[in-house]
Amino acid sequence: MAQICFEDALSAYIRFREVSRLSMTTVKHLRYMLSFCKREYPGDPWLTQDKIDRWGTRRPGESGTTQASRVGPLNAFIDYLNRRNGFPFSPVPLEKKNAAGDPVLFTESELCNLFRACDEAEVIRSHGFVHDAQLLNMLEFPVIFRLLYSSGMRGCEARLLSTSDVDMENGIVHIRHGKGYDEHVVVLHETMLALIRKYDAMMERLMPSRLPFFPDWKGRCHPKDWLAYHFRRLWGKYNERRGVVVYSLRHHYAVHNVNAMPNRGYEITEELLALSRSMGHRSLDSTLYYYHLVPKFADIYGEIMGDTLQHTIPEP
């Protein structure tokens, strides 16, 4: 196998993430690893499996969550190298977390409370002026959280949308910055499309020729924790239930759509394939997981969890 200089590869990876408008917050862990390797392997600039395994090993007293925060960025870096250069590096295995249990399913009242809080966002004058961030939040909250609810998008997919990704005429959203390297499309419901068009028209007047579809007050994509922070705040304004996160909107979308499907036993239907593609799932196993949360499918979930789960979603 050809050798690769760790520092050069990391610099190329950072440029890739910058150009792709991916979050840069986790890159610090890779820089920590580079410093570790320079200290522990002086004069050896090559990235090796031994260095990967040594850095990724869980440390004494370290929690699984802390280890995952260190190793997750490394595994993403390894995936990038393997895909781009054909290196057979192995990612560091992590314990699967299941502390959250089954996904949270919303009641109609809870959803109404959430969107009520989104619609009530307002600007507050401080020292005689209104900060642009407050004005943008007032415009963006009612749209972005309804978009997540109605489309099943991941939070990062909505947050990193550019204006060129949204086909305003046909109501099609091109997801180019999702999980991994897979791109897919989402078709908007007509009511969501109407809201998107209204929002876009207002944003064009406020911030002409913007690039991000949901920009911050500096015209950039919002940082990674922006959605999570404001979702918690808006959710807790009128709802009492805890343990609900912004990703729960995606879970609710999946379960709602599975529940609306006809019960045809073990048949892989067009509706199921369409749902998998729309949600950006690489294979049907991720989509079929939601079967056990739907009463009418719970009895066949165990059977479906056999060979069918290994079927890759075919191309249309």
pLDDT one-digit tens code per residue, 6-21: 999 999 999 998 887 7
Percent of the chain with pLDDT over 90: 47
Give every CB contact of residue 53 below 8 A, 6+ residues apart in sequence: 92
pLDDT at res. 286:
66
Q: State whether the Cα torsion 279-284-286-289 is positive or negative.
A: positive
Q: Where does the pLDDT of residue 309 fall: very low under 50, low under 70, confident under 90, or very high at 90 and above?
A: very low
Q: Where does the pLDDT of residue 314 fall: very low under 50, low under 70, confident under 90, or very high at 90 and above?
A: very low
Q: Where does the pLDDT of residue 279 fall: very low under 50, low under 70, confident under 90, or very high at 90 and above?
A: confident
Compute the mean pLDDT over every residue in the chain, rounded to the nearest whole number. 81
Q: How far apart are CA 133 and CA 216, in angstroms?
A: 7
Nearest alpha-carbon partner for 207 in 171, 265, 173, 163 = 163
Q: How far apart are CA 64 and CA 139, in angstroms?
A: 38
Q: How far apart are CA 265 and CA 245, in angstroms?
A: 32
* pLDDT per position as a tens digit, 204-258: 999 998 999 999 989 999 988 899 999 999 999 999 998 899 989 988 888 777 7
Q: How far apart are CA 78 and CA 80, in angstroms?
A: 5
Residues in the chain, total: 316
Q: How far apart are CA 143 and CA 148, in angstroms?
A: 9
Q: Is 127 exposed, middle or buried (0-12, 13-18, 19+ CB in 10 A)?
A: exposed
Percent of the chain with pLDDT over 70: 77
Average pLDDT score over residue span 147-170: 92
pLDDT at res. 94:
81
Structure tokens at 310: 């290994």
Question: Listing from the earlier edge strand, what are the strands of the sheet with 184-187?
Answer: 166-167, 172-175, 184-187
Q: Where does the pLDDT of residue 269 fall: very low under 50, low under 70, confident under 90, or very high at 90 and above?
A: low
Average pLDDT score over residue span 291-305: 47
Average pLDDT score over residue span 67-72: 87
Q: Do residues 160 and 21 make contact, with C-beta atoms less than 8 angstroms apart?
A: yes
